[in-house]
């Protein structure tokens, strides 16, 4: 016998949420772009820290060589030769892009001086890729990709630890991030309960579902009546517009009125004649329920225990 029965209360909508205005897709994307720009520098710093720590523990000589190449590239030929001699085994181990096959052969044969001489014919390009596909390097360059210095088991943590903490904690504690707050947005649970830290972590993890659908999940901003994406449905949340920016005061006024008032206001004719009757052009104008639902949270109060 099952130890759990279906409970419809988890699918009910908080009455205070019904009729609240929803942000436009453009506002949602703008808020995420602000958060992404804010997180870029801390994410890069964290990835560099993990890369440096891992390399220092595994290869102290290679760590010293990378540190010198990044911060104090020598100008003397002898010092450059010594640096390339220490870097050659590291470049071979991470399979650096643009590395000549002759350098790999020389390192495998134990001829580090020969490998350094061949590396001197190329220019060293130190780079860190925090996402996406890097552009191919020119034949005259050898790319030292710092993210490859991070062990595979720690690479995901190094690149996504800061964003995970930021989105999970900010959403759980305040219901908003810096970008959402700037654009007047807030994340709330549809049942009116507080968002827990576990909900915040799960919501962030569900972001990657958009990548799993090859971006098609973003069309839910237009398809879903309440503009909920996959990560919203994963933890039963919805993003509402609480004010700020253009139209903020008007949306706040609308959100405090019952849903019936919104419908009547949107169905009111746009123009009238001198006798007070709607003009022939606007008398038949009506707004479909789907358009109304796309701008205001739709649902049924909790007391009716509906399915959502």
Instruction: Check whether residue 212 and residue 68 sit in a common domain.
Output: no
pLDDT digits (tens, 9 = 90+) for 190-222: 988 999 999 999 999 999 999 889 889 999 999
CA atoms within 13 A on the CB side of 265: 12
Query: How deeply is 180 buried, as exposed, middle or buried, from its count of CB atoms within 10 A (0-12, 13-18, 19+)?
Result: buried
Band of pLDDT at residue 283, cut at 50, 70 and 90: very low
pLDDT digits (tens, 9 = 90+) for 253-269: 444 444 444 444 444 44
Instruction: Check whether residue 254 and residue 110 sit in a common domain.
Output: no
Instruction: Check whether residue 25 and residue 79 sit in a common domain.
Output: no
Q: What percent of the chain has pLDDT over 70?
A: 77
Instruction: Check whether residue 259 and residue 181 sit in a common domain.
Output: yes
34 lies in some domain: yes
> For position 176, what pLDDT does the model report?
95
The mean pLDDT value for 127-153 works out to 79
State the Rg of the chain over Cα: 28
Largest interatomic CA distance in the chain: 99
pLDDT digits (tens, 9 = 90+) for 87-99: 999 999 988 988 9
Among the ranges given (26-40, 52-66, 113-127, 145-159), the one the predictor scored with the smallest mean pLDDT: 145-159
- 125-156: buried (b, 16+ CB within 10 Å) or exposed (e) per residue? beebeeeeeeeebeeebbbbbbbbbbeeeebe
The mean pLDDT value for 116-122 works out to 90
The mean pLDDT value for 17-27 works out to 93
Query: How deeply is 108 buried, as exposed, middle or buried, from its count of CB atoms within 10 A (0-12, 13-18, 19+)?
Result: exposed
Q: Among 128, 150, 172, which residue terminates a domain?
A: 150
Instruction: Check whether residue 227 and residue 284 sit in a common domain.
Output: yes
Q: Among 129, 150, 171, which residue terminates a domain?
A: 150
Query: How deeply is 116 buried, as exposed, middle or buried, from its count of CB atoms within 10 A (0-12, 13-18, 19+)?
Result: buried
Q: Residue 102 belongs to what domain range?
A: 59-150
Q: Among 150, 179, 194, which residue terminates a domain?
A: 150
């Amino acid at each position: 016998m099952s130890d759990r029965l279906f409970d419809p209360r988890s699918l009910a909508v908080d009455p205070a949420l019904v009729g609240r205005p929803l942000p436009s897709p453009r506002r949602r994307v703008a808020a995420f772009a602000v958060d992404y720009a804010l997180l870029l520098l801390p994410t890069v710093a964290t990835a560099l820290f993990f890369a440096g720590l891992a390399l220092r523990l595994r290869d102290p000589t290679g760590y010293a060589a990378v540190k010198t190449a990044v911060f104090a590239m020598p100008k003397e030929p002898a010092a450059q030769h010594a640096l390339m001699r220490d870097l050659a085994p590291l470049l071979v181990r991470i399979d650096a892009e643009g590395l000549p096959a002759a350098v790999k052969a020389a390192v495998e044969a134990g001829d580090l001086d020969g490998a350094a001489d061949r590396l001197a014919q190329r220019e060293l390009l130190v780079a860190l890729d925090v996402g996406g596909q890097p552009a191919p390097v020119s034949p005259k360059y050898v790319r030292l990709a710092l993210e490859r210095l991070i062990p595979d088991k720690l690479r995901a943590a190094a690149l996504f630890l800061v964003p995970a903490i930021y989105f999970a904690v900010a959403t759980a504690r305040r219901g908003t991030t810096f970008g959402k707050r700037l654009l007047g947005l807030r994340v709330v649970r549809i049942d009116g309960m507080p968002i827990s830290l576990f909900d915040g972590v799960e919501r962030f993890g569900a972001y990657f579902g958009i990548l799993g659908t090859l971006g098609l999940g973003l069309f839910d901003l237009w398809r879903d009546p309440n503009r909920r994406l996959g990560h919203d449905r994963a933890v039963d949340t919805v993003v509402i517009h609480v004010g700020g920016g253009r139209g903020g005061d008007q949306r706040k006024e609308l959100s405090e009125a019952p849903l019936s008032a919104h419908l009547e206001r949107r169905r009111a004719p746009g123009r009238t004649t001198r006798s007070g009757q709607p003009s022939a052009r606007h008398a038949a104008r009506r707004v479909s329920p789907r358009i109304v639902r796309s701008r205001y949270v739709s649902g049924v109060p909790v007391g009716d225990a509906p399915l959502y």
